[in-house]
Structure 1
Amino acid sequence: MKTVPLIVTDTVNNSYQCYKVMADEDMTEVDVIAAIKKVITEFCETEAGQLLGYK
């Protein structure tokens, strides 16, 4: 199991959040995309995401 960093950049406030996506060597492309989607969804539900109008 490897941890892949996913950086979400807030260009309006010139800041970023770093999330970790767990990636297994036998994951398919679809699995990786689903994991990234989950992290982005979680970000959109945070206070920062809501302030940016993502929810």
Structure 2
Amino acid sequence: MMYNASEDTALQVDDQLFLRPTQSEFVLLQFGDLAVWENGAVSDWWPPLPQANGA
């Protein structure tokens, strides 16, 4: 996923970005756990949240 921002955006080391998928989050359930990338390596695995029931 690409991040686009103004050159005036002053991101620093250890700042956090949160992804809002352009597709439904339901798509995440079709894949495995999410890999946490930290310090150049996978440091953990997070399961996606289960699908909610109802509207």
**What interval of TM-score do these two structures reach, taking the shorter chain for normalisation?**
0.3 to 0.5
- Structure with greater contact order relative to length (CA < 8 Å, sep ≥ 6): 1
Judging by fraction of residues, say which structure has more helix.
1
Judging by fraction of residues, say which structure has more strand.
1
Query: TM-score, normalised to structure 1's length?
Result: 0.33
Query: TM-score, normalised to structure 2's length?
Result: 0.33
